Chains A and B, each alone.
Chain A
């Protein structure tokens, strides 16, 4: 029986001789570290890697590969070892992908020697990380267990090994990369990095002579739950990006402003992570060893975005200054607002954490004090007990009042900030009722992020934080039309389905509207035609690539075309000729909306859909499922990885999203068009007009 682990979950191991199988779709480095009971790696000889593949009880592959088998004999590892961490890393300096967000989610399985799977784990949610601790095997009370870790590091192997307490982490990371680079030189050519073909024209731009700037595209995937500190846009100074600009300038999919062609002058993806940190971000040693020579000046700092423009005059001393929209770092207003919204998100998460922790403490202290009064025999005499109880309650109230006061003060400040930020947001970030949509013009460039909805916490119901995710989408979306969200009031599942479709239509319209004409196409699969009325705004204005596919034949046709597209683009990219696509292929990014899954899907279609979900995002094919998981229950656990790889959104407010800092449960509310508003028609009509003139 295989256990499908989720991050953090553990599972007992039945045997000590095991294999760990890794498959990632792209050549990656697999290694393992041994650490003691404190989680500390004692030295380079406690690390198994391609340069030193064998340790007592442990054997890893000599080279980077898409598939690995690590042999483990837990009886043979030294007694001092309490933990074996399996790590994966992208080879650096060989022109491959530099972030796990650009490759398919790595899959690991722990198997016995006879091949029976004990546990498996798919590492989802990785983004700018280039190294990841995938699993750990650890001693617990004399037995060994496996735990799914999935902790990624944007700074690559050097940062990963440093975190494990290895003193000479950087040197070792360098020598690992060197060994891998030598191995790759012997092996078949590494596939070049992903090239979403929507970006193809941008690659025509010559790799600009390196601005000494490491790529810091620390993109976020909303609040999807990863608490990795590397993902915080406000994190401390972690080195960003894992390779020198020379090895990646051509590889980055137009993320660096220096490789951007004239079509997208202001697309500045970097910088969200590379705020002026308290320390210079040295180019990681990993970049220099084994790969191309790094010409970066060692003493020069990473280019930092300019500080925010001078804002309103400072307020009176002691008074909070007036909040100003765009009051954050960034190269463009777009980026500054994005960073500001994420800053508000973090502030609200943290100030709420402070408040909750104070309340919890006050409650538990009062409980303890009341217990003490109860167990003290003296309190039974006279009024002593009552007085002590009274005092405990008074202390409780007093602490709660002070906590509430501090919390209210912070909330008022954030609310004032939200009041100025919300009206200043560009369409991609704005609610549908924002007047900016009435002055909508088809954009000439793709924005850096998209609003998927609003987030709020129960303590601050009227303070809504825009939920912004980076574009291009890193994961597919799943709009859950099932009653799983636990909303008994929506007992009418038909109503829930209708709302889910409305959410999907509003999101699809928003995605279409914020992309320049010809850069994004939307396909709809609606096998039984149940979504016809909801999709009407998209169909009637003619913004879809084709009318919604119906019936099993329609499903098969659309999936076959998109699968073929993914295959062709992957082949072209692997062959190093991303421009050599057949003329019939639409070069824009694609979104496939699937309604009523699995209605109209045969096994082949299901397989194709899973393939699209896994491989699509890297080559610009995105998925939006409008589905009730129960409808597909017949498939059993087969589809679990599919659901997990998608970002789940709900058509009704539901608290299922966690923030990356303290992990509060945030209530998500979809961005819906206000009832009776014509804004969707207005916007889509303009999009359709622009598409027609662009196609001409």
Chain B
């Protein structure tokens, strides 16, 4: 529902709420119904990561790792729009990227990049939104630690679900999660499938099976 500020309504900061996080495992799906039965209107997909410290003499020196979060909007398994660091807002305004973070790990455990989704405003033909993370600088996830994605109720700051990438692997991208329509509401599914690629375009073949 377009409230009286319309798209302009959901740009505020959220306050930190108490945590009743679901720690998700690969393949698990949760429904985005509120505990009081209402449906969520706006969610934030937050991504965070830290560069793993290098072993050796200058172990305190870490290399900067630029991970990029992207969201691909699908209608009936066809990509319709994409939100990433070069296109920060979907044309319809329902999905917004808060901006590129080139180094990661600024806040210990905070979101480094976030994508806001105004579920109520997602165009009717869009039925899945897939969130991906890829390493723009080319390091593999072996050099990343504490990478996670979490879904936050943007209206009250409550964390709904968190999915932590366990153990780095020899790949440069992750298809993290998808948010998809189920009946009148939305579900989130943790995907966690590894892939290789520098930007989301490279990931398309890996995303399609997950739809």
Contacts and interface: CB of A to CB of B under 8 A. Distances in A.
Interface of A: 38, 40, 162-163, 165, 167, 169, 229, 234, 236-238, 275-276, 278-279, 315, 318, 320-324, 327-328, 343-344, 346-347, 350-351, 353-355, 357-358, 361-362, 365, 399, 402-403, 406, 409-410, 413-414, 417, 661-662
A123 B89 CA distance: 25
Given A167-B103, A351-B92, A362-B125, 4 more contacts: A320-B4, A324-B4, A343-B7, A361-B80
B4 A351 contact: no
A323 B4 contact: yes
Nearest to A308: B5
Contact of B102 (A162, A322, A399): A162
Given A229-B88, A350-B91, A350-B92, A358 B123 contact: yes
Nearest to B97: A236
A343 B5 contact: yes
B2 A413 contact: yes
A361 B125 contact: yes
B123 A165 contact: no
A402 B93 CA distance: 18
A38 B198 contact: yes
Nearest 4 A/B pairs, CB to CB: A350-B93, A354-B92, A354-B123, A321-B4
Nearest to B122: A354
A324 B8 CA distance: 14
B18 to A, nearest CB: 21
Contacts of B121: 351, 354
Interface string B66-105: 1000000001101011000000110111101111101100
Given A236-B88, A351-B92, A413 B125 contact: no
Given A167-B103, A167-B137, A347-B6, A357 B94 contact: no
A403 B7 contact: no
Most chain A beta-carbon neighbours within 10 Å: one of B7, B93, B99, B124: B124
Nearest to A420: B4
Most chain A beta-carbon neighbours within 10 Å: one of B93, B97, B102: B93
Given A351-B93, A403-B125, A343 B99 contact: no
5 contacts: A321-B3, A327-B5, A343-B5, A351-B2, A361-B80
A347 B118 CA distance: 13
Interface in B1-42: 1-8, 11-13
A278 B13 contact: yes
A251 to B, nearest CB: 28
Interface string B195-207: 0001100000000
A402 B127 CA distance: 13
B136 interface: yes
A351 B125 CA distance: 13
Contacts, number: 122
A330 to B, nearest CB: 13
Nearest to B8: A343
Given A165-B66, A167-B64, A346 B7 contact: yes
A427 B92 CA distance: 32
A40 B76 CA distance: 33
A357 B136 contact: no
A279 B4 CA distance: 24
A570 B90 CA distance: 44
Nearest to B137: A167
A179 B206 CA distance: 46
Contacts of B94: 350, 354
A56 to B, nearest CB: 23
A358 B125 contact: yes
B96 A236 contact: yes
A354 B92 CA distance: 5
Contacts of A165: 66, 102, 136
A578 B76 CA distance: 64
Contacts of B78: 361
B11 A413 contact: no
Nearest to A317: B38
Nearest to B63: A167
Interface in B99-125: 99-100, 102-103, 121, 123-125
Most chain B beta-carbon neighbours within 10 Å: one of A234, A275, A315, A362: A234
B88 A410 contact: no
B1 A409 contact: yes
A414 B5 CA distance: 9
B123 A357 contact: yes
Contacts of B1: 318, 320, 409
A229 B81 CA distance: 17
Contacts of A414: 2, 6
B136 A40 contact: yes
Contacts of B66: 165, 167
Contacts of A661: 89, 91, 93
A353 B124 contact: no
B72 to A, nearest CB: 14
Nearest to B91: A353
A328 B93 contact: no
Nearest to B89: A661
A275 B75 CA distance: 34
Contacts of A662: 91
B92 A353 contact: yes
A350 B76 CA distance: 21
B92 to A, nearest CB: 3
Nearest to B138: A40
Given A167-B103, A236-B99, A409-B2, A357 B11 contact: no
Contacts of B3: 320-321
A318 B2 CA distance: 10
Nearest to A401: B124
A413 B8 CA distance: 13
A149 to B, nearest CB: 13
Contact of B199 (A38, A236, A321, A354): A38
A613 to B, nearest CB: 34
A377 B189 CA distance: 39
Contacts of B102: 162, 165, 167, 169
B13 A399 contact: no
Given A167-B64, A351-B92, A399 B8 contact: no
B76 A365 contact: yes
Most chain B beta-carbon neighbours within 10 Å: one of A38, A357, A403: A357
B37 to A, nearest CB: 13
Contact of A361 (B75, B103, B137): B75
Nearest to A409: B2
A396 to B, nearest CB: 11
B9 to A, nearest CB: 9
A323 B78 CA distance: 37
Nearest to A319: B1
Contacts of B89: 229, 661
A355 B91 CA distance: 11
B7 A347 contact: yes
A398 to B, nearest CB: 10
A366 to B, nearest CB: 11
Nearest to B120: A406
Contacts of A402: 124
Contacts of B198: 38
